[in-house]
Amino acid sequence: MAERYDCIIIGAGPAGLAAGLYAARDRFKMLLLEKFVPGGQINSTDRIENYPGFERISGYELTEKMQKQTVAFGGAIKTGAEVTALKKLSSSDIEISCDKDKYLARAVILAPGSDYRKLGIPGEDKFRNAGTGVSYCGTCDAPFFKGKSVVAIGGGNTALEETLHLCKFAAKVTLLHRRDEFRATKVLQEEFVAKSKEPNTNLLVKYSTVATAIEGKDRVESVRLKNVKTNNEESYPCDGVFIFVGMIPSTGFLKGFVELTDDGFIKCDFAHLRTNVPGVFVAGDCRVGAAMQLATATGDGANAAMMLKNYFRDSSWWNQPAGGGL
Ligand code: NAP
């Protein structure tokens, strides 16, 4: 017989761990289900300097602290538990299926996270940490490249915003875009192009250019570039490579259960993080509109767990409009 919980949280990254902490402190019978180990994507970041309260900490250290704090208040975490399907059985029961086990919950918080889209080129995995030169987060890692030369890749909002941020730290920033037109919003494009035309600017743009390999011995020393129009190739010296080519939400197992956007993000109301399925909340990078930051993910987790009380008190709260005097 499947064990029944007040709340099951899927994913023990920062959003799920924060949700677990808040749910445990409210003395709900709760369980966090984690496919691998607690921490998620941030575990691979070696230096975090933008999480309030910690001047400098590694992702692993921080999420280990989060995990201990959640457990200290009675939160339960089951690792190696990959959720494969969810089913709404009745107004008060949601069935959560893992490979071997099944669970029942009155409410679920979905926090499976997302992962950076990778280029899949030689050298990318080898140098995948800011210490050796490949990063996917300018906001997090730009200060480590103060006075250095970096290459950024991408043409969307994230690429342009993060590249402008990199320009505040690096001595030289070269943005590569595979086409000759950006995908980012026009306002951002205008700001970006203006920056690239300033006298003595540290921003250079190479259009119609792709990276085919990241090269170096112990750390990044250069990037192999190819112009897709001329097929000309060159080895371009740099100290770091920032890859901003989009995110992939880890929501494949939710298809057909909750409403997703075309690119797989979970739809929700931003104020209360309710999905289209009553009793199912969402938190963190997997939701539509997420800011994709550690601080915002933990904020989401806390918010979703705080909303459990509203739903448990009166299930008709689910249908009240967002911002409607709750
Ligand atoms: P995105 O909009 O999907 O842009 C990804 C960029 O990477 C595109 O320019 C794409 O090139 C390029 N790209 C993809 N695969 C590539 C590859 N293999 N090699 C080289 N380039 C590759 O992703 P995003 O910028 O991360 O944004 C994600 C979502 O968040 C978007 O909806 C965006 O609007 C939103 N966002 C909004 C804000 C904001 O409003 N302030 C900030 C950040 C993000 P092509 O253009 O050629 O396809």
Catalytic residue among 7, 141, 268, 285: 141
pLDDT for residue 324 is more than 70: no
Does residue 266 form part of some domain? Answer: yes
pLDDT of 159 above 70: yes
Query: Which residue has the CA at smallest separation from atom 16 of ligand 1?
Result: 245
288 alpha carbon to ligand 1 midpoint, in Å?
14
| End-of-domain residue from the set 209, 243, 277 | 243
The answer to whether residue 325 sits within a structural domain is no
- Summarised one tens digit per residue, pLDDT across range 197-232 is 999 999 999 999 999 999 999 999 999 999 999 999
Whether residue 260 has its Cβ less than 6 Å from ligand 1: no
Q: Are residues 143 and 205 in the same domain?
A: yes
Question: Please, which residues have CB within 8 angstroms of residue 193's CB and are 6 or more apart in sequence?
Answer: none
185 with 155, same domain? Answer: yes
What's the angle, vertex CA 55, arms to CA 52 and CA 60, rounded to 5?
A: 85
Separation of alpha carbons 262 and 251, rounded Å: 12
Other C-beta atoms within 10 Å of 48: how many? 20
pLDDT at 47 exceeding the cut of 80: no
CA distance 11 to 79: 9
Is residue 25 in a domain? yes
Q: Domain for residue 57, yes or no?
A: yes
Q: Are residues 270 and 312 in the same domain?
A: yes
Report whether pLDDT(326) > 50.
no
Q: Does residue 59 have its Cβ closer than 6 Å to ligand 1?
A: no
Q: Residue 320 above 50 pLDDT? A: yes
Say what the pTM is: 0.78
| Phi, psi angle pair for 197, to nearest 5° | -105, 0
Check whether residue 100 and residue 185 sit in a common domain: no
* 92 located within any domain: yes
**137 CB under 6 A from ligand 1?**
no
User: Are both 191 and 269 inside the same structural domain?
Assistant: no
What does the alpha-carbon distance between residue 309 and residue 315 come to, in Å, rounded to a whole number? 10
| pLDDT exceeds 60 at position 325 | no
Residue 93 a catalytic site member: no
| Backbone torsions φ then ψ of 228, nearest 5 degrees | -75, -10
Give me the mean pLDDT over the 10-25 stretch.
Answer: 98
Contact 236, 174 (CB under 8 A): yes
Indicate whether 173 and 227 sit together in one domain.
yes
Give the number of other Cβ atoms within 10 Å of residue 177's Cβ: 22
At 81-98, the pLDDT tens digits run 999 999 999 999 999 999
Tell me whether residue 60 is exposed, middle or buried, using C-beta atoms within 10 angstroms of its C-beta: 0 to 12, 13 to 18, 19 or more: middle
Contact 243, 72 (CB under 8 A): no
pLDDT score, position 74: 95
For 226-258, write each residue's pLDDT tens digit.
Answer: 999 999 999 999 999 999 998 899 999 999 999
Residue 120: CB partners within 8 Å, gap ≥ 6? none
Domain count across the chain: 2
Shortest-distance atom of ligand 1 to CA 247: 26
Q: Residue 326 in 3-state DSSP?
A: coil
Same domain, yes or no: 39 and 123: no
Whether residues 224 and 146 share a domain: the answer is yes
Of 117, 119, 158, 229, the one to substitute when testing ligand 1's pocket (max ligand atoms within 8 A of C-beta) is 158
Same domain, 138 and 287: no
pLDDT surpassing 60 at residue 259: yes
Among residues 7, 137, 167, 268, the one annotated as catalytic is 137
The number of the ligand 1 atom at minimal distance from the alpha carbon of 120 is: 18
Backbone angles phi, psi at 126, to 5 degrees: -60, -40
For the CA of 181, the closest atom of ligand 1 is 46
Q: By C-alpha distance, which of 108, 134, 104, 107 is closest to 121?
A: 134
From atom 7 of ligand 1, which residue's Cα is the shortest distance away? 245
**CATH number, domain at 181?**
3.50.50.60
Residues 257, 154: one domain?
Answer: no
Which atom of ligand 1 lies nearest, measured to the CA of 117? 15
Known active-site residue 140: yes
Nearest Cα residue to atom 9 of ligand 1 = 155
Report residue 323's pLDDT band, with 50, 70 and 90 as the boundaries: low
DSSP E strands: which ranges in 11-47? 30-34
Residue 324 within any structural domain of the chain: no
Largest Cα span, the chain: 71
Q: Is 45 in the pocket of ligand 1 (CB under 6 A)?
A: no
**Whether residue 264 has its Cβ less than 6 Å from ligand 1:** no
Atom of ligand 1 nearest to the CA of 188: 41
230 and 256 share one domain: no
CB-ligand 1 contact for 246 (6 Å cutoff): yes
> What is the chain's mean pLDDT, rounded?
94
167 labelled catalytic: no
Take residue 166 and report the two structure tokens written for it: 């990199």
Alpha-carbon separation of residue 310 from 172, 272, 318 (angstroms): 51, 10, 8
Q: Among the listed ranges 16-25, 102-111, 112-121, 314-323, which one has the minimum average pLDDT value? A: 314-323
277-317 pLDDT, tens digit each: 999 999 999 999 998 889 999 999 999 999 999 999 999 99
Whether the per-residue pLDDT at 19 is higher than 70: the answer is: yes
Answer yes or no: do 136 and 192 share one domain. yes
Helix (H/G/I), strand (E/B), else coil: 1: coil
Q: Compute the Cα dihedral for 252, 254, 257, 262 and give only its sign.
A: negative
Picking from 243, 264, 298, the residue at the C-terminal end of a domain is 243
Residue 151 lies in domain? 118-243
- How far apart (Å, rounded) are the C-alpha atoms in residues 70 and 282? 18
Give the mean pLDDT of 175-189.
Answer: 96
Q: Evaluate whether 12 touches 36 at the Cβ level (below 8 Å).
A: no
Question: Which residues face 215 on adjacent strands?
Answer: 222
Q: What does the DSSP 8-state code read for residue 156?
A: S
The pLDDT of residue 241 is 98
Q: Is the four-CA dihedral 110, 112, 113, 115 of positive or negative sign?
A: negative
Ligand 1 centre to CA of 245 (Å) is 5
For residues 146 and 51, what is the distance between their CA atoms, to the nearest angstrom?
20
| Active-site residue identified among 26, 93, 140, 263 | 140
Of the residues 213, 243, 273, the one at which a domain ends? 243
Share of the chain above pLDDT 70, in %: 98
